[in-house]
Structure 1
């Protein structure tokens, strides 16, 4: 799939770094939290705009969203933790809360919240969750952003299922999410030709949305307008660009990207899409959805809100394109696509010619794929570009690394750990680019818990 000379180039880059002899500062790794509970970071946007706060949820493993009850803040200057939000009537069945991000422009956080009527019969589930906003200055005061009601009449701007993995655009005026539809999920239980297919959507502060007969449980109003933006199908044509799942997206650029004709696309999302290749095998490729400013207009005959037998539809004006055409597609640990700040490149993980997981990039206009990292070992976690777009951070060989995108030189920032103590989850930059935070499990007499760590001085 990728040029055979890439491994040789990688070793040359590695040897060049070793032989350069340039004095470098010694990075400093610090454990930030110590309490006997989890401190799980999201994959992006965990710092407040001024870098004072780090936000996290208190899961102690990645699968416990339905059982998690608390969203907390770590004050970087004081070294203290504070409770921001706690679910009410929490049980093992829900509601649950987590996967929390900071607005890039305001001291407000957003996280997924399970439905408030969660119980043994209707527990937390992919189709039973929503996005909740809480201001740092107003703890325990939730604002439900996406309206929801899975019973007719369906309402444009409201959803019928569950949102997850919320990600802010750089101006704080849009929020992307992944989505699963409860109406289609129920229909699939009696109709085997129907599947609940994950897709991608966007929240916009256009206006609030009211549903019929809001009951604060399955049906409730929302403060923002929500719509899906990716087209999915149960039975994609073999060898086509049709997809059966859209997921793990990113906003492209701080202000979109420049098209091949020189014009500017102000808002766009890149996402991973599962297709069927010529051999009818499922592989994952990179797709782009160019978004219009107005996401409220439906295409003729395709209502935004969907029907009792069809899923919600993308609005008019969206252009969906496949931009990678590879043999094996995206491979490696679960990760979200990432864009350089100027929107010129979208990063993803895949195997190089030697079978190692490396970082690659492609223009949102499509075209040749570039290999961005060259290492003698595989990347183990999601990655993030630095705020200035010059470096990328990730975990490899049980250590935190950064690679310079121009020189391809990489640097180990933390000592190699045992498998039990290695960095886990995402590796996230501060907004100033002077800190990188991540998670490790730490064993104590009280137990083994996910803690916050940071590395500075690099």
Structure 2
């Protein structure tokens, strides 16, 4: 059945905020099948909010063993298969971490390489981005090309993309990346490491790969570039980073720079620096992007070489915007931006050691604490579509905080640890629903299910 009110909500007799009675939210379990229903950290709704998309993982680390991408029809409560991998084994290929385009009925997810086996299983450097049109199930479009043998090809990558996020106009897709060429080189050269970095896909033009074999090397329908600069040996106390990850697009249409000009496309990301004591601290960085991502800087080929990783295009500027002692802390999360691009949100500990949400302008400057509560945030978070609230899990409950005054509301009763909300807390595009995951135990087993909150 579509609507199933979870145990405990009847005991949840309203919430008091500033002495006023608040509406009682309604929590509904949406799925019941004996399999996982894992939501991505954001962008799980179709543009019209008719569909939700998820993968069938039942544990977070099970991407290589996950074979299916499915749709949930919000109107009927029915699920349908959108894509299933072929020749799935315990070694791969695997598929998951699926997002909806904000403008079209298309979804994008990571897909392990189709030649995955015991010798070369699913791995961080062996995956790619696949797009499927909802109207054409089981028809994959491989967006990022892959080329492992010199001469490398501009616009094709040499490794694996993951955690894809769409820009608001649907014309760019960011991702995290691990390079297989550098990974192989590191096995014989200890001075080399495969350092995680961030890249962008754009529909500039398709990319042809000379050694295409549809398994380990293949063409790409979009143009892929790496946009962040990383190094194995960052100078202590500098802004150089050895790892870039868990990014977000800034604003729906960019942000206003300190000089008053408008930056149309930019990404905020987490970067690991080394302080003067040689300790790793995670800080917030911004990469301002040009409209054209296909032009290389002189002497820095986009595709890299046999001994160097791919390079950012001409016109990309990378800068650090937070300078803290402890840096970003808390559970793994992706940075988030307010819709107008004025603030980038991240997790860190307050003065008492509690993990809270903080914000900083893309131009840098003072850091603002956005949440003030006595218990640490447990999951990634998301701002509401109107930019007025932020939703997250804390104290085994779903919460929202009003960004104008810092007041917070508990929207669900506190759960036992084994039933607490997990993974993402995601708003619908209209802002009238919040969806998330919980484990539910039944006679058939314990499975991740979809839940929804309305009436808040």
Which TM-score tier does this pair reach, normalised by the shorter chain?
over 0.9
Change (3 A) 1:24 1:93: same
Q: Distance in 2 between matches of 1:132 and 1:167?
A: 13
The offset of 1:25, in angstroms, is 1.1
Question: In the alignment, what sits opposite 1:452?
Answer: 450
The offset of 1:18, in angstroms, is 4.5
Question: In the alignment, what sits opposite 2:137?
Answer: 139
Contact 2:147–2:211 at 8 Å: present in 1 too? no
Question: In the alignment, what sits opposite 1:7?
Answer: none
Matches within 5 A, 1:45-444: 45-444=43-442
Deviations 1:373-424 (A, max 9, x none): 0001000000000000000000000000000000111000001000000000
Q: What's the TM-score, normalizing by structure 2?
A: 0.96
The offset of 1:20, in angstroms, is 2.6
Question: In the alignment, what sits opposite 2:41?
Answer: 43
Q: What's the TM-score, normalizing by structure 1?
A: 0.96
Q: Which has the higher contact order (CA 8 A, sep 6+)?
A: 1
Q: Distance in 2 between matches of 1:372 and 1:319?
A: 28
Question: In the alignment, what sits opposite 2:22?
Answer: 24
Contact 2:252–2:339 at 8 Å: present in 1 too? yes
- Give the secondary structure class of the aligned counterpart of 2:359: strand
Deviations 1:286-320 (A, max 9, x none): 00000000111111111000000000000010110
Contact 2:146–2:156 at 8 Å: present in 1 too? yes
Deviations 1:170-219 (A, max 9, x none): 00000000000000000000000000000000000000000003100111
Q: Distance in 2 between matches of 1:19 and 1:434?
A: 20
The offset of 1:19, in angstroms, is 6.3
The gaps in structure 2 that reach 5 residues or longer are: 1-14
Question: In the alignment, what sits opposite 1:8?
Answer: none
Q: Distance in 2 between matches of 1:132 and 1:229?
A: 20
Q: Distance in 2 between matches of 1:367 and 1:198?
A: 27
What stretches of structure 1 move > 6 A for 4+ residues in a row? none
CA RMSD between the two structures:
0.7
The gaps in structure 1 that reach 5 residues or longer are: 1-16
Deviates more, 1:22-31 or 1:125-134: 22-31
- Give the secondary structure class of the aligned counterpart of 2:156: coil
Change (3 A) 1:19 1:174: closer
